[in-house]
Amino acid sequence: MDGEGARPFEPRITAFVCNWCTYTGADLAGTSRLQMAANVRIIRLPCTGRIDPLFIVKAFERGADGVIVSGCHPADCHYNAGNYHARRRFAIFRELADFLGIDPGRMTFSWVSASEGAKWRDVVNETVDRVRRLGPFTAYRELVTDPPVTRVVGKEVPA
Amino acid sequence: MARIGVFVCHCGENIGRTVDCARVAEAIRNLPGVVHSVDYKYMCSDPGQQMVKQAIAEQGLTGVVVAACSPHMHEKTFRRAASGAGLNPFLCEMANIREHCSWIHEDREAATAKAIDIARTLVEKVKRNRPLQTIQIPVTRRALVIGGGIAGIQAALDIADGGREVVLVEKEPSIGGHMSQLSETFPTLDCSQCILTPRMVEVYQHPRIRLYAYSEVESVQGYIGNFRVAIRRKARSVDEEKCNGCGACTQACPNRKVPSEFECGLGKRPAIYVPFPQAVPNLPTIDRSRCLLFLNRAKGRPDTCKKCAEACSKGAIDFDQQDRIVTEEVGAIVVATGYQVYSIGKQTGRDDIQGYGEYGYGTLPDVIDGLQFERLASASGPTAGRILRPSDGKEPRRVVFLQCIGSRDPAKGMEYCSKICCMYVAKHTMLYKHKVHDGQATVFYMDIRAAGKGYDEFTRRAIEEEGARYVRGRVSRIWRDGDVLKVEGFDTLSGRPIRMDADMVVLATAVRPQPGIEALAQKLNVSYDRHGFINEAHPKLRPVETSTAGVFVAGACQAPRDIPDSVAMASATASKVLGLFASEMLEREPTVAVVDDARCAGCFHCERVCPYGAVERREIRNRAGQVVRVVAYVNPGVCQGCGTCQATCPSKSVELQGFTDEQVFQQIQALGL
């Protein structure tokens, strides 16, 4: 994608994580200097219960090849029940995503606690590998009709 | 017009080694809305913070992004710096390019590109940040303590000594809890009542403690700083104002054969009774399920026996007394309801627990539990402190103690360790030896858990100095053969089965929360585990708070716990409460949900999903005063800011401040092509 034949495809992954567990777990991965793939961009939310399925659709529309949703383990949600709502929403959304033309293999839903730095690294690496094999996600970019977003660094956007 | 300042930190080598910070600052400088973008070695240092403040002042910044470590490290630092320069602290965000970038990647190109992306998302977010104000809610600076055992007593005294009023509610006729039933306490062998009763009296006499004994919490409404609690004051049938505690009524009562709860069934009490001589308050209570007058009334018969009223020189007996409900307004609640000892004979009270019928508890009279042994050992107990067999009143020459009955057993009992039993069994062997000098105590144990201060020395003393025989293994069966109990078990250290005779067997049974704890927890909207133990907010760092703001927990109702730890925990809750009461207004983070009531359709999906019950219903009225719509309203004092309501709202009428849809979509957009 992006017209570069020479460079191999590197997937872009957007991750929606909860502040209390996964974000902190990712912090721990950093503190522990656990090296991992550099393809993931984290968006911090207070709780996975805050996640609207539209965020995921928007992420794909805006160039993501894969999405990670990650929160606290069941029974450990900082807000008691937000992760349960996220799980239920995601279970239904996965069906809708398939219908919308998003391969469910492009999405990862995980529980990563604040102490699971290594697990976060594994979720990241595994997702990146999986999405790399699926190839770039192009279906939505062709539908974008509003003025194209200009990129600040590097690549030109095809017209 | 946005004027965002971006500060990219090298963090010494931590970020600078992998991320080209100057290039990040340069890339971000070109973003629309960014007027100032620099990099610096240590942003969190004094000169670093000064840079931020100076830029705010000189450049008229409307928002700040510090690209550095995790917000969990320094968000407060930079928000404080921004605030100091006159910028609303909530207009300052941190971009995590250390823990989430420089520390986890080695490729400089990839890490720098990622750092730029991360910084860009936060710039786009902060452009949509609103200058939020911390929420001020008024605080009623009185506390409610539920439970009058040692934990509740300690919490009440600490809060009251700290200058605040306390309402202490206890469901039994007297405060004191299980500690008042103990004979001596480990590891000092202090007389339990001697160290407890002065505290009980202090509670009773304290000018800032209002004691409601023989009372229970009926309902709880409200939220932190503003609870309304209804308390049921159960009818003792005794007028408190008139009674002088002389006890003549208890002497006069003809029904003297009621099994005493305080004596764990080993002694008897009258129908009108004071549970123990040192009871606080020293008021008798009529047990209406045993009193002849009330039993007759229940059958529609006339009042016959009034012996207690006749004996009372103060006219304090009131057979027509009713339960009364009183309402108290408090700002914080401490749950300290303690434990019950669970005998696990045949009756278990739960379908998933099988019980231990093989030990004969409940059928063999000389098989008793630890609390019953305490009553035998107590000087004021049913046997005046002599260890005597319940069956024939003789002194036992051989007593066998079994540890872990019901605890550490996922198959038949509770999976957890009850923590106090290893210690009190060692204590019991010593109490027994002190009273029956030629007696032999044998303990069947799996492990010895004696981790506290002086605890291991205590158990060693029982074994090495006081002659207790410790056998590592479990007992499989106990039965009676004539006057003697046969105990069959296994000694794992010698690898041989063991069969011995005993005159008495004492079971160290599992510790559980008080019955009815689930109902109370539901009234308080606090969570509990499958055993009923109240859940703490965080097992490591927030052990005395619950997930409900303003409700704290102390003592054995949260987990099995001994007296020193219960007291420490109670004092900890007092410090939390007094901290909460430090000012008249409570400041809360404003990252709460706000409903746009112009758009709210009143479907109340939000109300259903809110884990805290923070959603209220508000009536919108027209000028004629008629209700035209009912809409949702989020109570800013209760909302904890999870955002589940916003994700659930079909019309997107509720916004979580600090994480609005616009903010999130702009972050997603910023990552786009």
Residues B536 and B560 in one domain: yes
**Looking at the partner chain, which of A33, A41, A82 has a beta carbon nearest the beta carbon of B642?**
A82
Contact B104 A149 (CB under 8 A): no
Residue A105 near residue A134 (C-beta atoms within 8 A)? yes
Position with higher pLDDT, B507 vs A101? B507
Last residue of a domain, one of B513, B533, B556: B513
In this complex, is the C-beta atom of A35 within 8 Å of any C-beta atom belonging to chain B?
yes
Structural domain contains residue B499: yes
3-state SS record for B648-660: HCCCCCEEECCCC
Structure tokens at B54: 């100076």
Q: What is the pLDDT of residue B462?
A: 97
Weakest mean pLDDT among A81-95, B170-184, B338-352, B354-368: B338-352
ipTM of the complex: 0.88
Q: What is the pLDDT of residue A153?
A: 56
Residues 377-436 of B with CB under 8 A from A: none
Residue of B nearest to A1 (CA): B673
In this complex, is the C-beta atom of B96 within 8 Å of any C-beta atom belonging to chain A?
yes
Residues B460 and B345 in one domain: yes
Instruction: Give the integer Cα–Cα distance in Å for B81 and B223.
Output: 32
Structure tokens at B624: 């004629």
Instruction: Give the integer Cα–Cα distance in Å for A70 and A114.
Output: 11
In this complex, is the C-beta atom of B32 within 8 Å of any C-beta atom belonging to chain A?
no
**Looking at the partner chain, which of A38, A44, A52 has a beta carbon nearest the beta carbon of B111?**
A38
- Residues 6 or more apart whose CB falls under 8 angstroms from that of B65 comprise B4, B5, B6, B7, B28, B92, B93, B94, B95, B119, B122, B123, B126
* Chain centre to alpha carbon of residue B251: 40
Percent of chain B at pLDDT above 70?
Answer: 99
Q: What is the pLDDT of residue B527?
A: 82
Q: Does the structure show a pLDDT above 70 at A147?
A: no
Residue of B nearest to A154 (CA): B113
Q: Does the structure show a pLDDT above 70 at B84?
A: yes
Residues B265 and B177 in one domain: no
> Which residue in B20, B104, B652 has the most chain A C-beta atoms within 10 A of its own C-beta, making it the best mutation to test that interface?
B104
- Residues 6 or more apart whose CB falls under 8 angstroms from that of B531 comprise B414, B416, B512, B513
Q: How many CA atoms lie within 13 A of B151 on its CB side?
A: 30
CA dihedral B633, B637, B642, B645 (to 10 degrees): -10
DSSP per-residue letters across A82-131: HHHHHHHHHHHHHHHHHHHT--GGGEEEEE--TT-HHHHHHHHHHHHHHH
Q: What is the mean pLDDT of residues B335-358?
A: 79
- Residues 6 or more apart whose CB falls under 8 angstroms from that of A83 comprise A18, A47, A48, A49, A71, A72, A73, A74, A76, A77, A111
Structural domain contains residue A31: yes
Structural domain contains residue B667: no
Contact B113 A153 (CB under 8 A): yes
pLDDT digits (tens, 9 = 90+) for B26-63: 999 999 999 999 999 999 999 999 999 999 999 999 99
- Residues 6 or more apart whose CB falls under 8 angstroms from that of A88 comprise none
Structural domain contains residue B665: no
User: pTM for the full model?
Assistant: 0.78
Structural domain contains residue A151: no
Q: How many CA atoms lie within 13 A of B112 on its CB side?
A: 18
Helix B661-670 to helix B108-127 angle (10° resolution) is 150
Three-class SS of residue B142? strand
Residues of A in contact with B591 (CB under 8 A): 46
Structural domain contains residue A50: yes
Instruction: Give the integer Cα–Cα distance in Å for A138 and B66.
Output: 34
In this complex, is the C-beta atom of A31 within 8 Å of any C-beta atom belonging to chain B?
yes
Instruction: Give the integer Cα–Cα distance in Å for B593 and B215.
Output: 38
Domain boundaries, position B593:
589-657
Instruction: Give the integer Cα–Cα distance in Å for B290 and B287.
Output: 6
Helix residue spans in B85-234 (DSSP H): 108-127, 150-161, 192-205
Of the pLDDT bands very low, low, confident and very high (cuts 50, 70, 90), residue A152 is very low
Residues B346 and B332 in one domain: no
Instruction: Give the integer Cα–Cα distance in Å for B532 and B353.
Output: 14
Q: Does the structure show a pLDDT above 70 at A149?
A: no
pLDDT digits (tens, 9 = 90+) for A52-84: 999 999 999 889 999 999 998 887 787 878 999
Q: Does the structure show a pLDDT above 80 at A154?
A: no
pLDDT digits (tens, 9 = 90+) for B210-242: 999 999 999 998 888 999 999 999 999 999 999
Structural domain contains residue B134: no
Residue B464 near residue B429 (C-beta atoms within 8 A)? no
pLDDT digits (tens, 9 = 90+) for B588-625: 889 999 999 999 999 999 999 998 889 999 999 999 99
Of the pLDDT bands very low, low, confident and very high (cuts 50, 70, 90), residue A151 is low
Strands B440-445 and B654-656: unpaired
Instruction: Give the integer Cα–Cα distance in Å for B86 and B136.
Output: 20
Query: Minimal Cα–Cα distance from A148 to chain B, Å?
Result: 8
Instruction: Give the integer Cα–Cα distance in Å for B223 and B636.
Output: 10
Query: Minimal Cα–Cα distance from B32 to chain A, Å?
Result: 10
Helix B46-59 to helix B71-84 angle (10° resolution) is 50
Contact B644 A49 (CB under 8 A): yes
Residues of B in contact with A78 (CB under 8 A): 642
Q: How many residues does chain B have?
A: 673
Residues of A in contact with B659 (CB under 8 A): 45-46, 50
Residues B273 and B376 in one domain: no
Residues 99-138 of A with CB under 8 A from B: 121
Contact A149 B648 (CB under 8 A): no
Instruction: Give the integer Cα–Cα distance in Å for B548 and B525.
Output: 7
Q: Does the structure show a pLDDT above 60 at A143?
A: no
Residue of A nearest to B111 (CA): A38
C-alpha triplet B409, B413, B419: angle, nearest 5°: 65
Q: What is the pLDDT of residue B343?
A: 66
* Closest by Cα among B5, B19, B7 to B98: B19
Q: What is the pLDDT of residue A159?
A: 44
Percent of chain B at pLDDT above 90?
Answer: 88
Residue of B nearest to A138 (CA): B673
Residue of B nearest to A81 (CA): B611
Structural domain contains residue A150: no
Pick the most confident of A92-101, B287-296, B534-543.
B287-296
Q: What is the pLDDT of residue A107?
A: 96
Residue B450 near residue B463 (C-beta atoms within 8 A)? no
What is the arrangement of strands in the sheet containing B324-330, beginning at the earlier edge strand?
B215-223, B226-233, B324-330
* Chain centre to alpha carbon of residue B405: 25
Q: What is the pLDDT of residue A79?
A: 83
Structure tokens at B35: 């007027």
Three-class SS of residue B105? coil
> Which residue in B4, B100, B529 has the most chain A C-beta atoms within 10 A of its own C-beta, making it the best mutation to test that interface?
B100
Instruction: Give the integer Cα–Cα distance in Å for B608 and B614.
Output: 10
C-alpha triplet A26, A32, A33: angle, nearest 5°: 90
* Chain centre to alpha carbon of residue B389: 38
**Looking at the partner chain, which of B72, B611, B673 has a beta carbon nearest the beta carbon of A27?**
B72
Structural domain contains residue A155: no
Residues B527 and B506 in one domain: no
Q: CATH number of the domain at B433, please.
A: 3.50.50.60
Structural domain contains residue A159: no
DSSP per-residue letters across B340-360: EEE--SS--SSTT----GGG-
> Which residue in B126, B667, B669 has the most chain A C-beta atoms within 10 A of its own C-beta, making it the best mutation to test that interface?
B667
Contact B661 A34 (CB under 8 A): no
Structural domain contains residue A158: no
Domain boundaries, position A113:
13-143
**Looking at the partner chain, which of A35, A41, A85 has a beta carbon nearest the beta carbon of B671?**
A41
Residues B467 and B443 in one domain: yes
Helix B150-161 to helix B192-205 angle (10° resolution) is 40
Structure tokens at B554: 């102390």
Query: Minimal Cα–Cα distance from A17 to chain B, Å?
Result: 12
Contact A2 B643 (CB under 8 A): no
**Looking at the partner chain, which of A29, A50, A151 has a beta carbon nearest the beta carbon of B646?**
A50
Residues B424 and B572 in one domain: no
> Which residue in A50, A119, A137 has the most chain B C-beta atoms within 10 A of its own C-beta, making it the best mutation to test that interface?
A50
Mean pLDDT estimate for chain A = 87
Position with higher pLDDT, B375 vs B413? B375
Contact B644 A47 (CB under 8 A): yes
Position with higher pLDDT, A126 vs B548? A126
Tell me the Cα Rg of chain A.
16
Q: Locate tokens 């606290």: which residue?
A: A72
Q: CATH number of the domain at B643, please.
A: 3.30.70.20
Query: Minimal Cα–Cα distance from B211 to chain A, Å?
Result: 33
Residue B21's H or E segment, with its range, is helix B21-29
Structure tokens at A17: 């994580």
Instruction: Give the integer Cα–Cα distance in Å for A10 and A13.
Output: 10
Number of structural domains chain A divides into: 1
Of the pLDDT bands very low, low, confident and very high (cuts 50, 70, 90), residue B349 is low
> Which residue in A10, A27, A83 has the most chain B C-beta atoms within 10 A of its own C-beta, making it the best mutation to test that interface?
A27
In this complex, is the C-beta atom of B590 within 8 Å of any C-beta atom belonging to chain A?
no
Q: What is the pLDDT of residue B522?
A: 86
In this complex, is the C-beta atom of B161 within 8 Å of any C-beta atom belonging to chain A?
no
Q: What is the pLDDT of residue B474?
A: 96
Structural domain contains residue B133: no
Q: What is the pLDDT of residue A115?
A: 82
Q: How many CA atoms lie within 13 A of B580 on its CB side?
A: 28
Residues B479 and B397 in one domain: yes
Q: What is the mean pLDDT of residues B266-279?
A: 96
Number of structural domains chain B divides into: 5
Contact B120 A152 (CB under 8 A): yes
Last residue of a domain, one of B92, B127, B162: B127
Q: How many CA atoms lie within 13 A of B512 on its CB side?
A: 24
Q: How many CA atoms lie within 13 A of B399 on its CB side?
A: 31
Q: CATH number of the domain at A105, please.
A: 3.40.50
Q: Does the structure show a pLDDT above 60 at B530?
A: yes
pLDDT digits (tens, 9 = 90+) for B568-589: 999 999 999 999 999 889 888 8
Q: Does the structure show a pLDDT above 60 at A150?
A: no
Of the pLDDT bands very low, low, confident and very high (cuts 50, 70, 90), residue B362 is confident
Residue B376 near residue B382 (C-beta atoms within 8 A)? yes
Residues B83 and B120 in one domain: yes
Contact B103 A80 (CB under 8 A): no
Q: What is the mean pLDDT of residues B181-192?
A: 95
Contact A157 B70 (CB under 8 A): no
Q: What is the pLDDT of residue B377?
A: 97
Q: What is the pLDDT of residue B637?
A: 82
Residue of A nearest to B549 (CA): A79
Residues B508 and B518 in one domain: no
Q: Does the structure show a pLDDT above 50 at B561?
A: yes
Mean pLDDT estimate for chain B = 95
Structural domain contains residue B89: yes
Three-class SS of residue A157? coil
Structural domain contains residue B119: yes
Structural domain contains residue A149: no
Residues B504 and B530 in one domain: no
Q: Does the structure show a pLDDT above 50 at B96?
A: yes
